[in-house]
Structure 1
Amino acid sequence: MFNEIGTLLKKNIREYGMYIALAIIMLIFSVLTNGLFLSARNISNLFNQMGYIAVLAVGMTLVIVIRHIDLSVGFGSGFLGAAAAILLMNHNVPVLPTVIIVTLLGIAMWLVIGFLVSYIGIPSFVVTLAGMMVFRGALLVSTEKSGTIIILNDTFNIIGNGYIPDFFHGEYIHITTLLIGVLIVLFYIYSDIKSRNNKMKYNFEVLSVPVFIVKLILMSSIIMYVFWILANYNGLSWTVVIVLIVTLIYHIFTTKTALGRHIYAVGGNPEAAKLSGISLNKITLFVFGSMGFLTALSGILYASRFQSATPTAGASFELDAIAAAFVGGASAAGGVGKVTNSIVGAIVMASLINGMNLIGVGISYQYIIRGAVLVAAVIFDIKTRSKAS
């Protein structure tokens, strides 16, 4: 069995590399902070802090899969967060219409970007670089009167700061959070068993029963441990719930639908996809429109968490999202990347930042280390891809 596990890790190093990296990071910072890093309060804060980057990472993964890049999501997120603040505070628009308007605005703006990339043929790097400048200017214009727009709307602010209620009113532990964790574990086990059975039906190679059971137990234990930690603080935050819902929807979309398969076909081999009747332009337009939706959601989460819109909101978000996607296993060559893994990549980057803050690493050194991690992730991708080929 141990030989099979070793062979499994070697064959699927791209898949499991990020989990190994996350485990190492958590172990190191737990030791360096005398256990503070893994405290319930810190883990809860860590998940809340990575929420607005995680949703960007999901969209960025699909953009990278089709061999493009998006540099505009950072200040785009900041601008859309400011748009939400203006609607709420200056025009007294209710929360739900505000969220809908900002989301539609995000989709519309990124459809323009997608049109310029797909139908006009401008490289995505150039279009989104221009978009970054435009959105940064729009953000400055939006906040130039007051500098910072304070959001005094409790309903809106609870999105980024509130926690789901415990319907069972546990005295010392958040029972609802534990039950959600159990449901997620059951869904994971069901999905993995179904996937294994489908592979066996078509005579694909699968894990032996003992190793498969060990994998299920290990992953289920990790999931339940995280939910146990969260349940010992305030439970699941609305930010984490939103991230989980987005991840689930995009996971099902990319793995179970024809459109999702077309996206990976375009990224894997554009010419073959075109010859098979897939419209490259429409796929590109759709992926960028999706990126606009998630950018708007990111801006809402950020503005809600900090209860304000500032002139610097969104700075370097695009770099964190790109880093999360690559750390999560997305390939610079296109065609490879899972949205679920990008969430893990976002947790890796958030853990790195959070841990460095706890041990007092200066911000200048933090940027150097984060840059080194991104380069290491790309080198890892190139080396594992060359071995696989």
Structure 2
Amino acid sequence: MTSLMQSLKAGPLANLRQSGIYIALAVIIVLFAVLTDGSLLTSQNVTNLVVQNSYVLILAIGMVMIIIAGHIDLSVGSVVALTGAVAGVVAVRMELPWILAILAAILVGALVGAWQGFWVAFVGIPAFIVTLAGMLAFRGLAMIVLGNTQISPFPGPFRSIASGYLNGLLGGYGYDAFTLLLGGLCVAAFAWMQWSARRGRIAYEQTVEPMALFILKLVLVALLIMAFAWKLATYKGLPIVLIILAFLIVIYTVVTSRTPFGRSVYAIGGNLPAARLSGIKVKWVNFWLFVNMGVLSAIAGIVFTARLNLANPKAGQNFELDAIAACFIGGAAVSGGVGRVVGAIIGGLIMGIMNNGMSLMGIGIDYQQAIKGLVLLGAVAFDVWNKRRAGAVEA
């Protein structure tokens, strides 16, 4: 009875944190589509949005797991520069096969993550301090590796990671039917996952959003996915970087929601003493979280370097801020224990659409930074308000 009364008190707002982000994305898309006279939604611009924001979205996947566990990583932008520099040295200066450049960059990213994970997990230094030091150290290492110069050009296959497309696999219609087919499969997969998750919450007597709101969310997401697929299909087809990003989203969604490691991450961020008492190897979970963040930073560095066709010691500046902002806008809690991979991706898309839309409107970078700061503050304020409301409901 008590549980029922709490659900009634919470009402439709009980899952506003989860459902509201989808509505916010749709509203922002419509808003900037109107303000830019439709320029935002041209096929070319939609494709550019994917390519331009892919590396930040990759970083956001790892960052949200770090934040869920109650940590932060300020070094990812510098790791992007360092791993891009390593790829440049291997592929261009040493003239080795481009696949070895990718493997070398990922290995360096993993070693960087292991280094930071050691200090955080086993020595006990706060992640803020460790990664702040890493932000400085790895930027310096990037300059040393490159000799404080730039490396270019990269081999064609390497560049295609960020600039290549799959097109014509099911062509002959004036658009790429294969891209639309994949869009439909994504809609079906999303609906099945959401329905399964809803049934699971109901089975454990957890609060769920009203069925009308649940259906509305599915319809909105389906429309967004298919409209997005149509725009890609009528331009150059499916970007290769989008395939990489989709693969990472699926893998890490499963890891965070369906594996013991993922449940351990939430347990550590939600209640650290209880996690220790329950037998979770907290130190090792934290260690592997930072190794994972290093690997994802390397992948982002590869994508960014491939897009620019340039290894630059100044690459990745402020990427950590964009990734962190994406996580908080996407529903991650400042205190840890709350957050989702899909939410971080949507938060990153919101930031990317805002950047792109304001640029199309001719708004200067100074005003853009101020507006993004206010949006981030609003997202964190909503998190605080949501917790207070939840506490009032429980009382």
TM-score range, shorter chain: over 0.9
**1:205 Cα offset (Å):** 4.9
Q: 1:197 aligns with which of 196, 199, 211?
A: 199
**Residue 68 (str. 1) matches residue 71 (str. 2):** yes
Partner of 1:39: 42
The answer to whether the 8 A contact 1:157-1:304 is kept is yes
The answer to whether the 8 A contact 1:329-1:337 is kept is yes
Any stretches of 5+ residues in structure 1 without a counterpart? Answer: none
Letter in 1 for 2:343: N
Partner of 1:255: 257
**1:138 Cα offset (Å):** 1.4
Deviations 1:3-25 (A, max 9, x none): x9xx8652222113322332232
**Residue 51 (str. 1) matches residue 50 (str. 2):** no
Assess, with a 3 A threshold, how the Cα gap between structure 1 residues 206 and 130 changes in structure 2: closer, same or farther.
closer
Letter in 2 for 1:109: V
Partner-residue secondary structure (3-state), 2:62:
helix
Any stretches of 5+ residues in structure 2 without a counterpart? Answer: 1-6
**Residue 332 (str. 1) matches residue 334 (str. 2):** yes
**1:208 Cα offset (Å):** 6.0
What is the rounded CA distance, in whole Å, between the counterparts of 2:40 and 2:251 in structure 1?
30
Q: Map of 1:13-162 to 2, 5 A cutoff? A: 13-144=16-147, 147-162=149-164
Partner of 2:230: 228
The answer to whether the 8 A contact 2:88-2:154 is kept is no
The answer to whether the 8 A contact 1:177-1:235 is kept is yes
What is the rounded CA distance, in whole Å, between the counterparts of 2:170 and 2:219 in structure 1?
27
**1:229 Cα offset (Å):** 1.6
Partner of 1:270: 272
Partner of 1:343: 345
**1:213 Cα offset (Å):** 4.1
What is the rounded CA distance, in whole Å, between the counterparts of 2:23 and 2:209 in structure 1?
20
What is the rounded CA distance, in whole Å, between the counterparts of 1:283 and 1:140 in structure 2?
32
Q: 1:286 aligns with which of 285, 288, 301?
A: 288
* TM-score, length of structure 1 as denominator length: 0.94
**1:201 Cα offset (Å):** 4.0
Deviations 1:305-327 (A, max 9, x none): 11111131010000000000111
Percent of aligned positions that are identical: 39
**1:267 Cα offset (Å):** 0.5
**1:192 Cα offset (Å):** 2.5
Letter in 1 for 2:315: A
Assess, with a 3 A threshold, how the Cα gap between structure 1 residues 292 and 125 changes in structure 2: closer, same or farther.
same
What is the rounded CA distance, in whole Å, between the counterparts of 1:209 and 1:369 in structure 2?
34
Letter in 2 for 1:29: F
What is the rounded CA distance, in whole Å, between the counterparts of 1:40 and 1:152 in structure 2?
27
**1:370 Cα offset (Å):** 1.6
Deviations 1:285-315 (A, max 9, x none): 0110110010000000000011111131010
Partner of 2:182: 180
Partner of 2:313: 311
What is the rounded CA distance, in whole Å, between the counterparts of 1:191 and 1:24 in structure 2?
24
Assess, with a 3 A threshold, how the Cα gap between structure 1 residues 87 and 141 changes in structure 2: closer, same or farther.
same
Deviations 1:351-386 (A, max 9, x none): 111111111111122222222221111111111121
Number of residue pairs matched by the alignment: 383
The answer to whether the 8 A contact 2:167-2:236 is kept is no
Letter in 2 for 1:336: V
Larger CA deviation: 287-296 vs 171-180: 171-180
What is the rounded CA distance, in whole Å, between the counterparts of 1:148 and 1:102 in structure 2?
16
**1:200 Cα offset (Å):** 4.3
What is the rounded CA distance, in whole Å, between the counterparts of 2:233 and 2:165 in structure 1?
11
Partner-residue secondary structure (3-state), 1:337:
coil
Deviations 1:220-265 (A, max 9, x none): 2222111112111112201111111101000001111111101100
Letter in 1 for 2:163: N
Q: For the aligned residues, what is the CA RMSD?
A: 1.8
What is the rounded CA distance, in whole Å, between the counterparts of 1:379 and 1:63 in structure 2?
20
